[in-house]
C-alpha cells in the first residue's frame, strides 16, 4: 500500500466528506451558497429523507459529523434543514408533513430564531414586521421556520413556516472570519402576509424541553467532524513533509487522535440519552439528556481547541497561508465553536452532577 493510501486508511476516509468539500474553497472565497454540496446530499436522498426518527439518532449524528468533516458551512445549513424537518415531523399538521414527504421532499429548509437588534420579527395584524439575522443558507433555502413572540392570550414564542422567494436580503452584515459560505445574512420580512397553513405547532412548542436545548448535540456532531478534518489535514501535511515520525509530531498526532475520539464518544453518549428520553417521556431521562448535551458542549469545545492548537504547531506558519486547507478549516471551526451561552451550559452541567442527574459511565449499554 502506498504511503498516502495508508494514511487515508488509518484516518478512515469518508467519500461523502470528500464530495462535500470539493468546492468548499471556492465558496469560501466569495461567500456563495454551496450548491454543489447540496446536490450531493440530494442525490443520496439525505435532503428528502434525513435520518430523523428517534431510533436513528446515532446515524444522524454520524451523518452530521461526516458533513462537517467535508465543510462546516454546509454542515451548518444542513443541520438547520434537519432541525426544520424534525420540527415539521413533531409539530406539523398532517398536511404539512405530507407536503415535505411528497411534492416538496427535496425542498431545503432552515430555522431562524435570532432577531435583528432593534427590529425583532413580530406578527402584527396578520403580517410579519421586522428582520432576522444569522439567517444561514438564505441564498439556497426554499423555506424557513421563523420564530415570533405572540401577544394577547398566546404570548409564547411560536413558529411560522415561511416561503423565502423574493424577500429582501442584506448581505453587507455577514463579514465573518470563517463560515463565510453559510451565508448567514439579514432577512427583512416586513409586509409579508401570513397564510393560515404557515403556522407550525402551538405557541411554546419551539422552546419545548428537553428537545430545544438538547438539539445542541446536532451542531456538536458537525463540530466533531470539523475537528476530525483538522486531524486529516495535519496527518497529511506531516506525511508529505516526511515529519510524521518525528517524536514530537507523533505526540501531537496522538493527542489529536485522542481528542477527536473523545468527541465521537460524547456524541454516542448524548445520542443514547436522546433515544432513551424519546422512548421514556418522563422527567428523569429528560434531565439526563439535558445534562449530557451540556457536558458534550464543554467536552467538544475543549477537544476542538486542543486539536486546533496542536495542528497549528504541527503544521506551522504554512497552515496560516491560503490555499493551505488548514487556513480555511481553522477559521471555520473557530467561528462555529462560538455558540451561545457556554458559561450557562457549564453551570447547568455542574448543577446536574451535584443533583445526581448525571454521572460518568452511564453509557449506551445500560
Using the predicted structure, report yes or no on whether residue 6 has a pLDDT greater than 80. Answer: no
Gap between the Cα atoms of 197 and 96, Å rounded: 8
Using the predicted structure, report yes or no on whether residue 151 has a pLDDT greater than 80. Answer: no
> How many domains does the chain fold into?
3
Domain match, 313 and 229 both: yes
Residue after which a domain boundary falls, among 200, 225, 258: 200
Residue after which a domain boundary falls, among 177, 200, 223: 200
The string of pLDDT tens digits covering residues 255-278 is: 999 999 999 999 999 999 999 999
Q: Does 149 map to a domain?
A: yes
The string of pLDDT tens digits covering residues 181-195 is: 999 999 999 999 999
Binned at pLDDT 50, 70 and 90, residue 366 comes out as low
Q: Does 363 map to a domain?
A: no
Domain match, 220 and 349 both: yes
Domain match, 218 and 338 both: yes
Domain match, 252 and 128 both: no
Sheet holding 127-129, edge to edge: 122-124, 127-129, 192-193
CATH of the domain at 314: 1.20.140.10
Domain match, 132 and 192 both: yes
Domain match, 155 and 273 both: no
**pLDDT score for 4:** 45
Mean pLDDT, the chain, rounded, equals: 94
Q: Does 62 map to a domain?
A: yes
Q: Which residue has the cell 434537519?
A: 82
Q: Does 331 map to a domain?
A: yes
Gap between the Cα atoms of 21 and 24, Å rounded: 5
Q: Does 361 map to a domain?
A: no
Q: Name the residue range of residue 335's domain.
A: 211-355
The string of pLDDT tens digits covering residues 27-68 is: 999 999 999 999 999 999 999 999 999 999 999 999 999 999
Amino acid at each position: 500500500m502506498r504511503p498516502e493510501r495508508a494514511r487515508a486508511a488509518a484516518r478512515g476516509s469518508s467519500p461523502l466528506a470528500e464530495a462535500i468539500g470539493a468546492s468548499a474553497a471556492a465558496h469560501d472565497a466569495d461567500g456563495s451558497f454551496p450548491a454543489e454540496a447540496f446536490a450531493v446530499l440530494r442525490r443520496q436522498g439525505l435532503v428528502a429523507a434525513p435520518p430523523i426518527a428517534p431510533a436513528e439518532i446515532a446515524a444522524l449524528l454520524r451523518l452530521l459529523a461526516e458533513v462537517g468533516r467535508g465543510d462546516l458551512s454546509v454542515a451548518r445549513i444542513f443541520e438547520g434543514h434537519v432541525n426544520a424537518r424534525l420540527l415539521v415531523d413533531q409539530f406539523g399538521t398532517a398536511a404539512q408533513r405530507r407536503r415535505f414527504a411528497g411534492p416538496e421532499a427535496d425542498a431545503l429548509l432552515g430555522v431562524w430564531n435570532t432577531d435583528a437588534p432593534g427590529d425583532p420579527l413580530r406578527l402584527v395584524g396578520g403580517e410579519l414586521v421586522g428582520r432576522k439575522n444569522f439567517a444561514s443558507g438564505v441564498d439556497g433555502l426554499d423555506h424557513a421556520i421563523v420564530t415570533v413572540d405572540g401577544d394577547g392570550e398566546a404570548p409564547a414564542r411560536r413558529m411560522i413556516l415561511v416561503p423565502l422567494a423574493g424577500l429582501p436580503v442584506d448581505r453587507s452584515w455577514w463579514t465573518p472570519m470563517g463560515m463565510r459560505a453559510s451565508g448567514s445574512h439579514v432577512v427583512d420580512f416586513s409586509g409579508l402576509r401570513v397564510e393560515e397553513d404557515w403556522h407550525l405547532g402551538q405557541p411554546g412548542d419551539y422552546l419545548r424541553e428537553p428537545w430545544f436545548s438538547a438539539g445542541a448535540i446536532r451542531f456538536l456532531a458537525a463540530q466533531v467532524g470539523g475537528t476530525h478534518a483538522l486531524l486529516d489535514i495535519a496527518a497529511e501535511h506531516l506525511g508529505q513533509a516526511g515529519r510524521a515520525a518525528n517524536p514530537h509530531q507523533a505526540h501531537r498526532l496522538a493527542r489529536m487522535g485522542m481528542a477527536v475520539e473523545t468527541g465521537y464518544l460524547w456524541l454516542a453518549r448524548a445520542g443514547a440519552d436522546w433515544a432513551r428520553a424519546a422512548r421514556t417521556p418522563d422527567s428523569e431521562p429528560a434531565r439526563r439528556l439535558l445534562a449530557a448535551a451540556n457536558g458534550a458542549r464543554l467536552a467538544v469545545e475543549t477537544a476542538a481547541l486542543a486539536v486546533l492548537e496542536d495542528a497549528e504547531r504541527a503544521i506551522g506558519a504554512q497552515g496560516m497561508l491560503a490555499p493551505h486547507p488548514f487556513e480555511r478549516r481553522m477559521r471555520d471551526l473557530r467561528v462555529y465553536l462560538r455558540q451561545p451561552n457556554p458559561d450557562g451550559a457549564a453551570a447547568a452541567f455542574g448543577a446536574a452532577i451535584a443533583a445526581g442527574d448525571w454521572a460518568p459511565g452511564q453509557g449506551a449499554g445500560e
